[in-house]
């Protein structure tokens, strides 16, 4: 069975995000970029499945400009067998990405797709769900536990009400949550080996996929700064301040 | 690439082999690696770097002299590093609490032809050049120890294990560090490098030189309101908030796009056990010359690092069997200029040329001492030690030394910083005239936030205290625990438990500056490297 793992190049979770002064977005110039943390967890799970003998090949895929090859190489260094770049300079939306993934799934005869539950830059949590619908296959999202059976998967999902366990038939789309596993560290020699693993490039423009832009970001503002607090000396002053603000 | 991977029979660790392994992706290490490839393309060269991305752990003012860059990468100006502003003007001030006095710019501070850069961004840019030249660069991997050959010579490094818990036990993610074997190891760790410290002791490299002396540099990158920064302006100050017994001053470098790099440097040979370098820096920002510029602005990034000040007299022997010290791991910074980058790069290039020519470390020490690097240090060797007797005597000595261009026969001696701290009972802190502060950051914790430093809490504490009892007994009484004040990141805290006071080490705050390793009066603090990839994430500092 072949597993496809989607990874996204995002601003590293450690970076302090700054909004551009013209409000057109966030500063990405010279800022550290990494694999979306949930995607690393997805890849770790795929690698464990392959190491358990239940899959033959793990393919990492990313959509973007040539910079995202850095993240694909990191995925290969972690242990993926092959990498695919969907090459585009456009800022793709989940629906277009889902369509591109579907093209690769059909071309490669993928048996299981594992994605991060959401990207930490836009927090959309849409790609996996849309992909499942386009592919007309089951989805199991926010997985915190995954057990593969014979042509099925038992997935424990973290949902608002608690934990929900469902069985899905493969092929399927699974999106992963934080507690599924802890991704492995990359070994130095594997970084060297990753340079020699295959990385295929597919131009988005060669695929007949509409990349419509129904959504346009009109502006970005930083969260409003909290007003300075006032330290009060005693209860009397506290009551006076509250009264002044019409709060009591 | 000739790197071969195989099992090491004795230690069980996986092994990678290179012709040269460089520890540290700073200007010295990267210049060395690039030069090696330029001279001998088929050499297998690797650079390992403990930060997660090249540039994340390094910071400096920085005004650099471009000549070594011109030599290493002719045409670099066509595609310069991201932050690179030609110096337009130099100003030098003596500050009193509410006034500034413009002084003539000393010759060492004349920066015509120089560039203001972000050293972090420049290293990242240099790393790109190195990779294009065929150097393997591995950020996120910390060299934890030296690998010795059977004959006792240095034969490479051991990468630190990852995924180890606080008690030293392997976690689920445990990954044993590999060994990198190389006939030549270049230590380019910067000031007070932990492996360099080990090797200097191991090979007694410092037995014929004065003790090394250091300073601490704390820096903030600010985005100020439009119109307040004048790109290319370079300003330095002396005086307030320091009293004349503490060597130090500030720098204010104006970049483009309303960015200003502001920082504070002071010698770590100060005597006052109550002194806090971080607080002094924050005071400086409130001086009437500085405060209006910063008001209404925001801090983008901040950090701190020790700087090496010993120069000529304190330079250890820089060669040992199988390894060389370059850059500030050796100690090449020119203090009156407060510049070390050009020296670091030169030493790296010299090391590369020596290795290709001779194939061994032997003879490099002589080459370095006969080179322009050493000549530069020799010329200014008496300036910093002149300040041991205070600001005014120091300025007088500096004037004499500058006029005589360092040609006087004398060489003043350096003293070791940790011995200079006075006991609390013997020192009376002078009236500092410090003010109530309004500008951010509020305190060291708020400042550490801007350094974006990150360590997995569940790992061994990387600040080893050789005798922790001293902290709560002798040190409390003698010096009132100065570590709780000289650390710019608030790592050390004395907490009062039910059983009494104890030292709490908030290792996760550490910004890897090495000040504690240097200034601790008992020399019981040993900084070792935490898990690779941990530490600050400086952006454009």
* DSSP H helical ranges for B371-478: 372-379, 383-386, 391-403, 444-451, 469-470, 476-478
The one catalytic residue among B384, B513, B515, B534? B513
The residue in chain B having the minimum alpha-carbon distance to the alpha carbon of residue A186 is B175
Q: Is B472 tagged catalytic? A: no
List the domain boundaries for chain A.
Answer: 2-213
pLDDT of residue B10: 55
Kindly state the helix (H) or strand (E) to which residue B517 belongs, with its residue range: helix B515-519
A-chain residues within 8 Å CB-CB of B224?
none
Distances from the Cα of A159 to the Cα of A96, A128, A147, A166, angstroms: 27, 16, 18, 12
Mutation target vs B (from A45, A188, A231; most B CBs, 10 A cutoff): A188
Question: CA of B121, closest CA in chain A: separation in Å?
Answer: 8
Contact yes or no for B539 and A16 at CB 8 A: yes
Tell me how far apart the terminal alpha carbons of chain A are, to the nearest angstrom. 66
Identify the CA nearest to B300 among candidates A18, A220, A22, A29: A18
CA distance B161 to B159: 7
> CB distance from A32 to chain B under 8 Å?
yes
In 3D space, the residue among B25, B511, B488 whose CA is nearest the CA of residue B265 turns out to be B488
Contact check, Cβ <8 Å, B138/A188: yes
Architecture of domain A2-213 in CATH? 3-Layer(aba) Sandwich (3.40)
pLDDT digits (tens, 9 = 90+) for B419-466: 999 999 999 999 999 999 999 999 999 999 999 999 999 999 999 999
- Bridge partners, residue A169, by sequence: A152
In chain B the domains, ranked by start, together with CATH numbers, are 15-71+122-210+312-379 (3.50.50.60), 442-527 (3.30.70.20)
pLDDT score recorded for residue A70: 95
d(CA B338, CA B219) in angstroms, rounded, equals 14
Q: Which of A30, A32, A189 sits opposite B16 (nearest CB)?
A: A189
The nearest alpha carbon in chain A to B16 belongs to A189
Three-state SS at B34: helix
Does residue B60 carry a catalytic annotation? yes
Only one residue has tokens 């250091």, namely B214
State the Cα–Cα distance between residues B494 and B506, nearest whole angstrom: 11
Q: Which residues of B touch A187 (CB under 8 A)?
A: 14, 175, 178
Residue B2 is predicted with a pLDDT of: 36
Of A30, A184, A191, the CB nearest to B175: A184
Please state, in angstroms and as integers, the Cα–Cα distance from residue B247 to each residue in B91, B179, B264, following that order. 19, 42, 11
For the question of whether the overall pTM of this predicted structure is more than 0.90, the answer is yes
Q: Which residue of A has its CA nearest to B81?
A: A30
Q: Is B336 left (phi over 0), alpha (psi -120 to 50) or beta?
A: alpha
Q: In chain B, which stretches have pLDDT less than 70?
A: 1-11
Q: Which of A30, A48, A192 best probes binding to B when mutated, by most B CB atoms within 10 angstroms?
A: A30
A187 touches chain B (CB under 8 A): yes
Task: Respond yes or no: is residue B487 known to be catalytic.
Answer: yes
Shortest distance, CA A238 to any CA of chain B (angstroms): 24
Burial readout B196-211 (b: 16 or more C-beta within 10 A, e: otherwise): bbebbeebebbeebbe
Chain B partners within 8 Å of A185 (Cβ): 162-163, 173, 175
- Per-residue pLDDT, A211: 67
Contact B306, B518 (CB under 8 A): yes
Q: What is the pLDDT of residue B510?
A: 97
B196 near B329, Cβ under 8 Å?
yes
Dihedral pair phi/psi, residue B40, rounded to 5°: -145, 90
Test the A interface: residue of B4, B173, B227 with most A CBs within 10 Å: B173
Which residues of chain B neighbour A186 with C-beta distances below 8 Å?
140
What is the number of other CB atoms lying within 10 angstroms of the CB of residue B407?
9
Whether the Cβ atoms of residue B194 and residue B236 lie closer than 8 Å to each other: no
Residue A213: both structure tokens together: 């832009």
**A248: helix, strand or coil:** coil
Task: Name the residue of chain B whose CA is nearest to A28's CA.
Answer: B539
CB contact under 8 A, B450 and A14: no
Catalytic residue of the set B305, B346, B384, B444: B305
- What order do you get walking across the sheet with B84-86 strand by strand? B63-64, B115-117, B84-86
Q: What is the pLDDT along chain A (248 residues), one digit of tens a residue?
A: 999 999 999 999 988 888 988 888 998 888 899 999 999 999 999 999 999 999 999 999 999 999 999 999 999 999 999 999 999 998 889 999 999 999 999 999 999 999 999 999 999 999 999 999 999 999 999 999 999 999 999 999 999 999 999 999 999 999 999 999 999 999 999 999 999 999 999 999 999 887 666 788 899 998 888 887 888 899 999 999 999 989 98
Q: Which of B196, B483, B510, B534 is catalytic?
A: B510
Task: Give the span between the Cα atoms of A154 and A166, in whole angstroms.
Answer: 6
Compute the distance between CA of residue B311 and CA of residue B385 in angstroms, rounded to an integer: 10
* CB neighbourhood size of A16 (10 A): 16
Query: H or E element: which one contains A238?
Result: helix A235-244
What are the C-alpha distances in Å from A107 to residues A2, A39, A209, B205?
Answer: 12, 22, 15, 63
CB-based contact, A189 to chain B, within 8 Å: yes
Closest CA to A118 of A41, A25, A36: A36
């Amino acid at each position: 069975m072949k597993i496809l793992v989607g990874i996204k190049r995002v601003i590293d979770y450690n970076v302090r995000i700054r909004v551009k002064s013209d409000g057109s977005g966030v500063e990405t110039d010279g800022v550290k970029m990494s694999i979306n943390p949930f995607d690393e967890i997805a890849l770790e799970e795929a690698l464990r499945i392959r190491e358990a003998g239940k899959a033959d090949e793990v393919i990492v895929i990313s959509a973007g400009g040539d910079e995202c090859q850095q993240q694909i190489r990191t995925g290969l260094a972690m242990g993926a067998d092959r990498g695919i770049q969907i090459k585009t300079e456009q800022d793709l939306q989940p629906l277009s990405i889902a369509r591109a993934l579907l093209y690769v799934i059909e071309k490669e005869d993928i048996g299981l797709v594992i994605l991060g539950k959401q990207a930490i830059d836009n927090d959309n949590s849409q790609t996996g769900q849309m992909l499942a619908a386009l592919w007309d296959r089951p989805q199991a999202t926010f997985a915190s536990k995954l057990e593969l059976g014979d042509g099925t998967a038992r997935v424990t999902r973290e949902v608002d009400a608690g934990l929900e366990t469902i069985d899905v038939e493969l092929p399927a789309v699974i999106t992963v949550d934080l507690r599924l596993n802890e991704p492995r560290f990359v070994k130095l020699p594997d970084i060297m080996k990753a340079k020699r693993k295959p990385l295929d490039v597919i131009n988005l423009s060669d695929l007949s996929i509409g990349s419509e832009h129904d959504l346009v970001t009109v502006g970005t503002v930083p969260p409003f700064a909290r007003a300075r607090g006032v330290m009060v000396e005693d209860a009397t002053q506290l009551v006076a301040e509250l009264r002044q603000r019409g709060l009591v | 690439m000739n790197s071969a991977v195989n099992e090491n029979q004795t230690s069980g660790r996986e092994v990678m082999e290179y012709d040269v392994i460089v520890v540290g992706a700073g200007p010295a290490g990267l210049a060395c690696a690039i030069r090696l490839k330029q001279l001998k393309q088929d050499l297998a060269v690797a650079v390992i770097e403990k930060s997660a991305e090249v540039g994340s752990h390094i910071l400096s003012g920085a005004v650099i002299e471009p000549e070594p860059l011109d030599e290493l990468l002719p045409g670099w100006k066509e595609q310069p590093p991201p932050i690179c502003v030609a110096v337009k003007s130099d100003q030098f001030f003596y500050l009193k609490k509410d006034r500034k006095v413009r002084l003539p710019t000393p010759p060492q501070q004349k920066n015509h032809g120089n560039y203001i850069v972000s050293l972090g961004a420049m290293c990242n840019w240099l790393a790109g050049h190195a990779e294009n030249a065929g150097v393997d660069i591995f950020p996120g991997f910390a060299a934890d120890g030296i690998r010795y050959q059977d004959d006792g010579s240095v034969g490479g490094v051991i990468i630190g294990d990852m995924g180890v818990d606080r008690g030293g036990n392997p976690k689920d993610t445990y990954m044993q560090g590999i060994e990198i074997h190389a006939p030549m190891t270049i230590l380019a760790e910067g000031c007070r490098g932990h492996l360099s410290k080990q090797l200097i002791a191991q090979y007694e490299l410092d037995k014929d030189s004065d003790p090394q002396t250091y300073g601490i540099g704390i820096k903030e990158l600010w985005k100020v309101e439009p119109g307040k920064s004048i790109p290319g302006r370079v300003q330095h100050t002396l005086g307030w908030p320091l009293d004349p017994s503490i060597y130090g001053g500030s720098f204010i470098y104006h970049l483009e796009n309303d960015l200003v790099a502001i920082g504070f440097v002071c010698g770590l040979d100060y005597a006052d056990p109550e002194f806090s370098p971080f607080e002094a820096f924050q005071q400086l920002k409130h001086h009437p010359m500085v405060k209006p510029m910063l008001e209404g602005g925001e801090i983008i990034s901040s950090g701190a690092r020790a700087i090496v000040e010993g120069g000529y007299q304190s330079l250890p022997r820089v060669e040992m069997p199988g390894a060389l010290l370059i850059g500030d791991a050796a100690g090449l910074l020119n203090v009156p200029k407060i510049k070390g980058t050009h020296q670091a790069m030169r030493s790296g290039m010299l090391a590369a040329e020596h290795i290709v020519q001779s194939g061994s470390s032997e003879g490099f020490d002589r080459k370095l001492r006969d080179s322009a690097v050493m000549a530069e240090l020799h010329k200014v060797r008496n300036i910093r030690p002149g300040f041991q007797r205070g600001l005014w005597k120091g300025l007088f000595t500096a004037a004499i030394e500058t006029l005589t261009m360092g040609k006087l026969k004398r060489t003043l001696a350096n003293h070791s910083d940790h011995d200079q701290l006075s006991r609390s009972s013997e020192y009376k802190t002078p009236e500092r005239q410090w003010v109530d502060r309004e500008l951010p950051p509020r305190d060291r914790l708020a400042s550490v936030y801007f350094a974006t430093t990150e360590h997995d809490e569940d790992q061994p504490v990387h600040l080893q205290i050789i005798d922790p009892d001293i902290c709560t007994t002798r040190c409390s009484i003698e010096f009132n625990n100065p570590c709780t004040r000289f650390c710019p990141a608030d790592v050390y805290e004395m907490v009062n438990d039910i059983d009494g006071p104890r030292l709490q080490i908030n290792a996760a705050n550490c910004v890897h500056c090495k000040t504690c390793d240097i200034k601790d009066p008992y020399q019981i603090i040993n900084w070792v490297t935490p898990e690779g990839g941990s530490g600050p994430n400086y952006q454009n500092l």
